[in-house]
Amino acid sequence: MTQLHHAFTLFLSLLVEAFPFLLLGVSLSSALLLFIDEGKLIASIPKNPLLGAIAGSCIGFLFPVCECGNVPVARRFLLQGLPNSAAIGFLLAAPTINPIVIWSTWLAFRGQPEIVFYRILFSLIIAIAIGWIFSVQKDPRPMLQPLLAKRIMILSRQPRFARSRKKEPNLKESMLLQSGTFLLGADKGPMRLDETSAGTLSLTSDQSSVMNGRLKLFLENVTQELRELGGMLILGSAIAACLQVFVPREIVLSLGQGSISSILAMMLLAAIVSICSTVDAFFALSFASTFTTSSLLAFLVFGPMIDIKAVGLMLSIFQPRMIVYLFALAGQLTFILAMFHSYFL
């Protein structure tokens, strides 16, 4: 009973400490759904493979979404004909390179600011490198699921950003943050925003209906994301608490002290737990006393890029072999950078 009480106390402490950051991230991502002009944003990304990879990797500052929200954005990038490097760079970097994750990591490791710096640096290096590698494949369609590849082929024959809205001139679609979630069911399609809700009609529109429309869309998206991501946070916090209390400390210490074993163990844990990048720093903090700093960095870098939840989302876009390549490249580069940090930094 003492162990159960200790585990429950640790579970609640992790949950209470991390939930405000999850709520803040979800709220910002929902607000961006209403106020960001995706057409202008996408048009500003360079076509050059290297510059596209850099721009795609850094654009997460404008879209503070975790690994649940980055896949629809990357899909939209591919549909708009942007370079593979930009889409894949965003896919891998966005869950880490955004202000909410950086802030939460700094608060969790405020006594070790180098962890924040190296998390950002290593994530950017990996995302840019992999994006640049995949830029060799000029045509993205062989990497994609057949239906998405067919959609890209159709859109490639039309003027860029052209969309027919004759039937519904007062509606626009945003694919950057789609409705529907991975755990709660199939994609419901893009959110349809009434122009009055987006605030783009004339000032003669009824202001109360404008605000009500915005508030309704905002609350719907917040609710959808919190239902899924909140469940992942609870599961991750429970796993962390159980590992800390019920697993013999000798086993944890033996894994955490070796340079190689600790890095591999934390990378495996990151893939299995699938905790949201908005709050994973607090999860990793619970292992700070037993695992090396390099292994904590491996967890914080590899987890947001590749985890079980992300794989399910990626399969809606990419062919399985493409995901295997992403797994392999991200895992190897994370291990190499973590080992470099362990021995030289």
Provide the percentage of residues in the chain whose pLDDT is more than 90. Answer: 21
DSSP string, 169-225: TTEEEE-SS-SS-TTT-S---PEEEEHHHHT-S-TTS-HHHHHHHHHHHHHHHHHHH
Whether residue 311 is predicted with pLDDT greater than 50 in this model: the reply is yes
pLDDT of the residue at 309: 63
Whether the predicted pLDDT of 201 surpasses 70? no
The predicted structure's pLDDT at residue 179: 39
Q: For 206-223, what is each residue's pLDDT tens digit?
A: 566 767 777 887 788 788
Distance CA 65, CA 178 (A): 12
Cα separation, 267 vs 106, in Å, equals: 21
What gap in Å lies between CA 122 and CA 296, rounded to an integer?
13
Contact in structure between 171 and 194 (CB atoms under 8 Å): yes
| Arithmetic mean of pLDDT over the chain | 76
Residue 124, C-beta contacts closer than 8 angstroms, at least 6 positions apart: 57, 58, 93, 97
In angstroms, rounded to a whole number, what is the distance separating the alpha carbons of residues 175 and 75? 8
Per the structure block, which two tokens stand in for 343?
A: 């021995």
pLDDT per residue as tens digits for the range 288-299: 888 889 999 999
Residues contacting residue 31 through CB under 8 Å, at least 6 positions apart: 218
Amino acid at 111: G
Please tell me whether residue 238 adopts helix, strand or coil conformation: helix
Residue given tokens 């027919």 in the structure block:
164
pLDDT of 256-287, one tens digit each? Answer: 777 898 999 899 888 877 777 888 899 899 88
Kindly give, in sequence order, each residue whose CB lies less than 8 Å from that of residue 149, ignoring residues fewer than 6 positions away. Answer: 140, 141, 142
Task: Name which of 10-14, 141-145, 190-194, 295-299 the model is least confident about.
Answer: 190-194
CB neighbours (10 Å) of residue 139? 12
Predicted confidence at residue 329, as pLDDT, reads 95
pLDDT at 53 over 60: yes
Q: Look up residue 176 and give its two tokens.
A: 């950057």
Q: What pLDDT is attached to residue 338? A: 96
For the segment 6-17, the average pLDDT, to the nearest whole number, is 82
The residue count for the chain:
345
Instruction: Give the amino acid at 173.
Output: E
- Contact yes or no for 78/144 (Cβ under 8 A): yes
Res 82: pLDDT: 76
**156 pLDDT higher than 70:** no
Res 336: pLDDT? 97
pLDDT for 245 equals 79
For 329-338, what is the mean pLDDT? Answer: 96
Q: What is the pLDDT of residues 92-149, one digit of tens each?
A: 998 899 888 999 999 999 989 999 999 999 999 999 999 999 888 877 778 888 877 8
Q: Which two tokens stand for residue 259?
A: 């340079």
Strands 191-194, 171-174: pairing is antiparallel
Which range of 85-89, 182-186, 251-255, 299-303 scores highest in mean pLDDT? It is: 299-303
Taking 70 as the threshold, does the pLDDT of residue 330 lie above it? yes
Q: Is the pLDDT of residue 186 over 60?
A: no
H-state helical runs in 62-178: 70-79, 84-93, 99-108, 113-134, 146-156
Q: Which of 71-80, 164-173, 221-230, 300-309 has the highest mean pLDDT?
A: 300-309
Candidates 22, 57, 12, 6; CA nearest to 280 is: 22
